[in-house]
Amino acid sequence: MGGPTAAVRCRVVRSAAAQRIVARHGRVDTLGMTNTIPVVGSAPLLGSLYDLNTTRMRAFFTRAYIEHGPVFEIRVLGQRLVVLAGPEANRYASGSGRKSFGSHLAWGRLDRHFGVASSMISVDGEEHTAMRRVEARAYTRAHFNATIDRSAAAAHEDLDAVSPGWLAVAPWCKRLVTEQVARVAVSGSARPLLDDLVRYVQLTLMAHVTRQRPPALMRFPRVARSQRRVWAMVDALVDERRRTGPGDVPDLIDDVLAAAALDPGRWGPTDVSVAALGAFIAGMDTAANTLAFAIWELVQRPELVPDLVAEVDAALAGGITAEALERMPGLVRFLFEVLRVHPIAPALERHLVTDVEFAGYHLPAGTHVIIATTVTHSLGDLFADPDRFDPDRFSRERGEHRTPGAYVPFGVGTHTCAGRGMAEGLLTLDAALLLHTLRFTKDPGYRLRQIARPTPSPDNRFRINVLGRRTPDDQRAVSVPRTQADREALTPRT
């Protein structure tokens, strides 16, 4: 993260509520006249650059939140950024402040790289609402359910290809999830171009969004070749659909082409292709990396596995259906805990499009802010013993995720993940089929090392030891209690 310097010297907001917040965090000077945002101490030149690595930033922001409260300033390479954190920040960004945050500063560079004026993730206001109305349907749980056979077929193919011995987890998850996103969202296949897709999508995000790589990298022959191939694939999918019309189950391309027919000025040919590629940009690494973390947690906690396997076996006894996935509340709680402990988007970059009064500060329009959303995931007053991996915190009785603003793996505000339904469906299906099909154990020599390309993931050395396949006898169903109330308890409110 980086970007323009924000104006950070602010005047005191004099409302009683604001004064209480300010007093609580002890930031009013003795005269009560001015208020300066606390600055997190850092190295002279680099500032907090080291701590802003995606794999470290949540811990860094959490420490700063505990020390300074919900608003603080950090320095990075001579630039100043304002950070908003804690449940109050999440509630504000999802509630009364939702229209105050703009996305263009963070995501607009991607539009320029793609050659479009805007895209769903970079626009705000009515234009965003209109684009989201068009694009989000194909990312819903309902669409995932309607196409579940496609996701299940891809999973079976990749599980069938696994032999006993070592399996490198992160690349396996990437291959599977990318193929599932291709089949579900755009009715295509990513298999022939997997390496190109992974290379192009990751480097594009790192060069034009997170700025972990210089944009010049995109001109390297290997990267440029991947870029050409990926766009040729996407354009071919769109062209074919123009010729054939919608498939049996309309997908993202069908929805966007229908919108383009009504409003060709808004949806030019490049906009349509960018929307189709958007499925990979948004869905591929996010869900794949979360699945890899889920497998990491499974092998760390063999004591949890027998109950999960029994639940999955019982649910899948009648076949792989959308309803079967609803009968796995224990696995869903496990995956919710994976998303709490390993959120792949620990913070969001924004700029303010209006003046904002928050937590006792006045922040002017134009301020470059980071919403450190997932600081809450580590706070002991929201999640009991937060360093402990404990899926039961999502049970109906405890429901720790229900505190507004506490549990936010899918973001906050207007751009909150449009693919949440699909992501939850994919994660449940893939984890269930893995548990149902394979016997595996951990590599005792591996310690978790995370990489961020740009979303965090276990590195490619993370592998599991596949002991063999489970037989039909192994899979004999065991009955596990499951109720509607169990499922309702898993719906977080932010």
Binding stretches for ligand HEM (CB under 6 A) = 120-121, 132, 139, 181, 185, 278-279, 282-283, 286-287, 290, 344-345, 348, 409-411, 415, 417-419, 422-423
User: CA 152, 456, 304 angle in degrees (round to 5)?
Assistant: 60
| 21 versus 422: smaller Cβ distance to ligand HEM | 422
Position of minimal CB gap to ligand HEM: 419
Cis preceding linkage at 454, omega within 30: yes
Task: Enter the tokens of residue 63.
Answer: 């420490």
Task: Enter the tokens of residue 286.
Answer: 């996010």
| 181 versus 433: smaller Cβ distance to ligand HEM | 181
In the complex, minimum distance from the CB of residue 348 to ligand HEM, in angstroms, rounded to a whole number: 5
In the complex, minimum distance from the CB of residue 344 to ligand HEM, in angstroms, rounded to a whole number: 5
Euclidean distance between CA atoms 121 and 131, whole angstroms: 9
Euclidean distance between CA atoms 203 and 33, whole angstroms: 47
In the complex, minimum distance from the CB of residue 110 to ligand HEM, in angstroms, rounded to a whole number: 11
3-class DSSP assignment, residue 381: coil
In the complex, minimum distance from the CB of residue 384 to ligand HEM, in angstroms, rounded to a whole number: 23
| 155 versus 423: smaller Cβ distance to ligand HEM | 423
Instruction: Tell me the β-bridge partners of 469.
Output: 438
Helix, strand and coil in the chain, % to nearest 5:
55, 15, 35
| 278 versus 492: smaller Cβ distance to ligand HEM | 278
Question: Are 71 and 93 a contacting pair, CB within 8 Å?
Answer: no
| Residue 282 CB-density burial (10 A; 0-12 exposed, 13-18 middle, 19+ buried) | buried
| 187 versus 286: smaller Cβ distance to ligand HEM | 286
In the complex, minimum distance from the CB of residue 280 to ligand HEM, in angstroms, rounded to a whole number: 8
| 21 versus 348: smaller Cβ distance to ligand HEM | 348
H-type alpha helices, 167-218: 169-185, 194-208
Euclidean distance between CA atoms 320 and 177, whole angstroms: 17
| 21 versus 394: smaller Cβ distance to ligand HEM | 394
In the complex, minimum distance from the CB of residue 251 to ligand HEM, in angstroms, rounded to a whole number: 11
| 288 versus 315: smaller Cβ distance to ligand HEM | 288
In the complex, minimum distance from the CB of residue 412 to ligand HEM, in angstroms, rounded to a whole number: 8
Element (H, E) at 85: strand 79-85
- Label residue 114 left, alpha or beta by phi (over 0 means left) and psi (-120 to 50 means alpha): alpha
What are 396-404's contacts with CB under 8 Å, separation 24+? 396/485, 396/486, 396/488, 396/489, 399/489, 401/336, 401/340, 401/492, 402/492, 402/493, 403/87, 404/87, 404/90, 404/91, 404/493, 404/494
Q: How many helices (H) and strands (E) would you count in the chain?
A: 17, 14
Closest CA to 296 of 165, 187, 431: 431
| 177 versus 223: smaller Cβ distance to ligand HEM | 177
| 27 versus 415: smaller Cβ distance to ligand HEM | 415
Task: Enter the tokens of residue 329.
Answer: 């509340």
In the complex, minimum distance from the CB of residue 357 to ligand HEM, in angstroms, rounded to a whole number: 22
Cα-based distances in Å from 218 to 2, 214, 436: 20, 8, 41
Instruction: Tell me the β-bridge partners of 455.
Output: none
Task: Enter the tokens of residue 77.
Answer: 């390479």
Q: Which residue has the tokens 């990312």?
A: 139
User: Phi/psi at 288 (nearest 5 deg)?
Assistant: -65, -45
In the complex, minimum distance from the CB of residue 379 to ligand HEM, in angstroms, rounded to a whole number: 18
In the complex, minimum distance from the CB of residue 107 to ligand HEM, in angstroms, rounded to a whole number: 7
| 92 versus 139: smaller Cβ distance to ligand HEM | 139
Euclidean distance between CA atoms 150 and 156, whole angstroms: 10
In the complex, minimum distance from the CB of residue 5 to ligand HEM, in angstroms, rounded to a whole number: 21
In the complex, minimum distance from the CB of residue 18 to ligand HEM, in angstroms, rounded to a whole number: 26
| 69 versus 454: smaller Cβ distance to ligand HEM | 454
